[in-house]
Amino acid sequence: MTTEPDRLVGEVPLQVRAAAAQRKYGWRLQYWLKSISPPTIAVLLVLALWQLTVHFTGVAAFILPSPSEVAVALWQDAPILLPNAWITLQEILVGLVISILVGIPLAVLLVSFKPIERALYPLLIASQVVPKVALTPLFLIWFGLGLMPKIVMVVLMAFFPIVINTALGLRGIEIEKLYLAQSMGAGRLTTLARFQIPGALPSMFSGIKLATTLAVIGAIVGEFVGASEGLGYSIQQGMARLNAPLTFAAIIYLTVIGMLLFLVVDVIERIALPWHVSRRADFNVSQ
């Protein structure tokens, strides 16, 4: 037979766990509210101010359409925009994957071998200094009018932040961990695989997030010259026809694509690095 003290002792852990779970969900809700509410309110205010400005100034729709006119274009021109959005998304995804597959190993080589770093680092800087728009006609000559020149442009835009952030993460490992690896007899590859790469993952994901935004820019830059499909082509067509609602609708599609890609990378980061994301959320809630 269970006595009253025994029953109370057995109930305490349940109560403690329930309180801990409530606090956990409480700070998560607080974190999401603090993260979502301000930008939502800001967007609504901008849309309201935009609508009122167009209404009271009477500006022509081909100069500045109202949000309601853009919303109509999003629906009516969807048969045109959706296929073009799919083309642009393919260019972004392929270029982004290539950037990751090239950028991360290149960062490992730069950190691991000083001669390679001295040889390639100036070339990496030069690749970012050269205006990408100036290279687009050459890509059209070399690769034709298909997807390839746009993918190359995406890679040129996206791989650099991945390389730099990954290299910074690999170099940012605490010296004590390196000494610990050496004391345990770990070689260069073991130290890289067990210590440096896991420690560089937060920086690596930061570089990939930045690369997603630059990949969208690279795809549109490639489509502005010599393209016959894609959202960049839709933007040009809207400008040529003085159809500003179509242009704004295509820009909104681009914005949604960029935000969704960023969100996908953020979700992958939360799954792969729950400890890092949880610590960051705790800090944000405490502010």
CA 235/CA 216 separation, integer angstroms = 14
Q: Coil, strand or helix: which one is 123?
A: helix
**Which residue, among 165, 156, 131, 162, has the nearest Cα to 218 in the 3D structure?**
156
pTM reported for the whole predicted model: 0.77
Model pLDDT, residue 32: 60
The per-residue pLDDT for 34 is 65
3-state helix, strand, coil in the chain (%, to 5): 85, 0, 15
Summarised one tens digit per residue, pLDDT across range 43-82 is 788 888 888 887 788 777 778 888 888 888 888 888 889 9
Residue 224: pLDDT band with limits 50, 70, 90: confident
Domain match, 204 and 232 both? yes
pLDDT over threshold 80, residue 4 = no
Joined tokens for residue 90: 């393919």
**139 or 218: whose pLDDT is higher?**
218
**What pLDDT score does 1 carry?**
47
Tell me, what's the pLDDT at 286?
Answer: 46
Token pair of 209 as six digits: 């997030």
Q: Write down the pLDDT at residue 27.
A: 56
Within a domain: residue 178?
A: yes
Q: Which residue has the higher pLDDT, 108 or 7?
A: 108
Quick one: how far is CA 132 from the chain centroid? 20
Q: Please name the residues in contact with 178: beta carbons below 8 A apart, sequence gap of 6 or more.
A: 191, 195
194 — phi, psi (to 5°)?
Answer: -95, -25
pLDDT in tens, 100-146: 999 999 998 888 888 888 888 888 888 888 877 778 788 888 887 77
Q: What is the pLDDT of residue 119?
A: 85
Q: What CATH number is associated with residue 185?
A: 1.10.3720.10
143 and 248 inside one domain: yes
| pLDDT confidence of residue 279 | 53
- How many whole angstroms separate alpha carbon 176 and alpha carbon 118? 26
Distance CA 36, CA 30 (A): 10
Q: Rounded CA gap, 232 and 247, in Å?
A: 9
Query: Are 217 and 178 part of one and the same domain?
Result: yes
Quick one: pLDDT at residue 276? 60
Q: Are residues 212 and 261 in the same domain?
A: yes
Output the CA torsion sign for 193, 102, 132, 225.
Answer: negative
Q: Same structural domain for residues 26 and 152?
A: no
Q: Do residue 113 and residue 187 come from a single domain?
A: yes
Query: Which amino acid, residue 256?
Result: V
- Containing structural domain, residue 48: 1-58
Q: Are 140 and 225 in contact (CB under 8 A)?
A: yes
Tokens of 235: 């933007």
**Residue 86 pLDDT > 90, yes or no?**
yes
pLDDT (0 to 100) of residue 30:
63
Question: What burial class does residue 126 get, using C-beta atoms within 10 Å of its C-beta: 0-12 exposed, 13-18 middle, 19+ buried?
Answer: exposed
138 and 32 fall within a common domain:
no
Q: In the prediction, which pLDDT does 129 show?
A: 81
Whether residue 238 contacts residue 246, with contact meaning beta carbons closer than 8 Å, is answered with yes
Distance of CA 106 to the CA centre of its chain: 20
Number of structural domains in the chain: 2
**How much is the pLDDT for 211?**
93
Residues 78 and 205 in one domain: yes
- Helices 244-272 and 274-286 pack at an angle, to 10 degrees, of 110
pLDDT digits (tens, 9 = 90+) for 171-212: 877 666 666 666 666 666 767 766 677 878 888 999 999 999
Decide which of 58, 76, 105 is a domain's last residue. Answer: 58
